[in-house]
Amino acid sequence: MDCRNKDCTGNLLPAVFFMGGFPEFDALFENPELLTENRDHAEYELLTIHREEHKHIRFFQGFNGVETIFELEADHIGFVSVNALGSLRDGDYKVVVVMPDGKVHVLMENDQRSEAVVALKEGVSKLKFVGLDAKGTLSLEVEVHGGS
């Protein structure tokens, strides 16, 4: 199993990540089917990221859109455990896993703390961060078990 962090370390002020056309942010937040597309579109007024091997911390302001944080590639069935700690000051956000078959599992939505274990199927699953006028902090610890 291969776990690749999809962003860089450092400060981005302001930041926009865009690949292809994208629907309105509120429709994106409410419709899980739109998250299965292989396009990210994220806009931030302010973003600071710190990451270590299995840990990802971000401080964000004015976040709208969707961004892939990790890609999880499995040769056979395994699982991923995600521990999340968030502090939301404004807006809405959620952390989801998009499976290779297109199913979307919501791991955290505006929660303070979440612990989840998700079975991975063969192929590439994506851990995504979705926001709607969100401001706050998010800390994720991701560990992949089996599947290699």
What tens digit of pLDDT does each residue of 60-85 get?
Answer: 999 999 999 988 888 877 888 999 99
CATH number for region 2-146: 2.60.120
CA-CA-CA-CA torsion sign (37, 38, 43, 46): positive
Strand partners, 98: 104, 126
Distance CA 117, CA 133 (A): 28
pTM value is 0.79
For 127-144, write each residue's pLDDT tens digit: 999 999 999 999 999 988
Distance CA 125, CA 71 (A): 6
Q: 69, 88, 64: which is closest to 14 by C-alpha?
A: 64
Distance CA 140, CA 129 (A): 11
Residue 148: which pLDDT band, with cuts at 50, 70 and 90? low
DSSP 54: S
Q: 53, 140, 55, 49: which is closest to 96 by C-alpha?
A: 140
Pairing mode of beta strands 41-44, 55-74: antiparallel
Question: What tokens does 92 get?
Answer: 């809405």
Q: 88, 94, 75: which is closest to 34 by C-alpha?
A: 94
What local confidence, expressed as pLDDT, does residue 19 receive? Answer: 39
Domain ranges of the chain: 2-146
